[in-house]
Amino acid sequence: MPDMDELIVTSDGSMSIRSRRFGETYHSHHGAITESMLVFIENGLKAVPAGLSECFIFEMGFGTGFNTLLSCLYKDNLKIVYETVEKYPLDSAMWESFARSQWPEKTPERFLFEEIHRAPWNQMIQLSEGFSICKQKADLLEISLPASHYHLVFFDAFSMDAQPELWNEKVFSQLFTSMRPGGILVTYSSRGEVKRNLRAAGFMLERLAGPPGKRHMLRATKPFIKETI
């Protein structure tokens, strides 16, 4: 059917989905897990200050739940409260088939992935020791976020070409306000316009080496004092 999403296998062997609605894949076709691990775990989760006892994470775009799963698997001793928003949740047939293709055997990762997808929407629950999650079924543009709350933001929208309404200064300013001073936002994009809009919102930027197929990615930090010039 022309409006159905389809499962794809990416270059590192991990699964992703091609969205018919947006005409893009949920992850890089050069490797879904490789991309999520570098952008969100190594340059995000592993970059939060050592000694933090509890980390509040906000993810833009829950999608397949890969970033959630990897955060839960690689959190070490960090306690995580994970909030994520998703406007177009995958239906159960899609995420179940995704899980079977990614993990043909019933591995602990598959079990956790399924638990994450079965978790109720719009409710904070404790998924495992030290990992609580609230998946909000909503449009990022219509929710309000708490002020000075998040230590870490995963900005994982489809590209600026597909979703120009999500990569602008207004959205980044809302995220900036929702973050604690010193908090970081990571995203796979390093486009000039994205950098300008993040800077205009008040962030300090670092351009880091990107995952396969992308030269760079961005890490944006909320300074302790907002630059006014």
Ligand X SMILES: C[S@@+](CC[C@H](N)C(=O)[O-])C[C@H]1O[C@@H](n2cnc3c(N)ncnc32)[C@H](O)[C@@H]1O
> What residue has token string 């190594």?
42
Q: Is 87 in the site for ligand X (CB under 6 A)?
A: yes
Q: Closest by alpha carbon to 186, among 47, 10, 3, 9?
A: 47
Size of the site for ligand X (CB under 6 A): 19
How many distinct helices (H) and strands (E) make up the chain? Answer: 6, 11
Q: Is 31 in the site for ligand X (CB under 6 A)?
A: no
Q: Is 140 in the site for ligand X (CB under 6 A)?
A: yes
Question: Burial, 226: exposed, middle or buried (Cβ in 10 Å; 0-12, 13-18, 19+)?
Answer: exposed
Q: Which stretch binds ligand X (CB under 6 A): 43-51, 86-94, 102-110, 123-131?
A: 86-94
- Least distance CB 30 / ligand X (angstroms): 14
- Least distance CB 112 / ligand X (angstroms): 15
Nearer to ligand X, 120 or 182 (CB): 120
Q: Is 61 in the site for ligand X (CB under 6 A)?
A: yes
Nearer to ligand X, 124 or 226 (CB): 124
As a whole number of angstroms, the distance between CA 9 and CA 102 comes to 9
DSSP class of residue 121?
Answer: B
Q: Is 66 in the site for ligand X (CB under 6 A)?
A: yes
Q: Which stretch binds ligand X (CB under 6 A): 93-101, 117-125, 151-159, 173-181?
A: 151-159
Q: Is 131 in the site for ligand X (CB under 6 A)?
A: no
Q: Which residue of 37, 39, 78, 157 would you call a contact of ligand X, by CB under 6 A? A: 157
The DSSP bridge pattern shows strands 125-128 and 131-137 to be antiparallel
Nearer to ligand X, 144 or 228 (CB): 144
Q: Which residue of 15, 72, 86, 222 would you call a contact of ligand X, by CB under 6 A? A: 86
Strands (E), the chain: 6-9, 15-19, 24-25, 54-60, 79-86, 125-128, 131-137, 150-155, 179-187, 204-209, 216-221
As a whole number of angstroms, the distance between CA 143 and CA 139 comes to 7
> What residue has token string 């390093």?
190
Q: Is 9 in the site for ligand X (CB under 6 A)?
A: no
The residues of the shown chain that bind ligand X, judged by CB under 6 A, are 26, 36, 61-64, 66-67, 85-88, 139-141, 156-158, 163
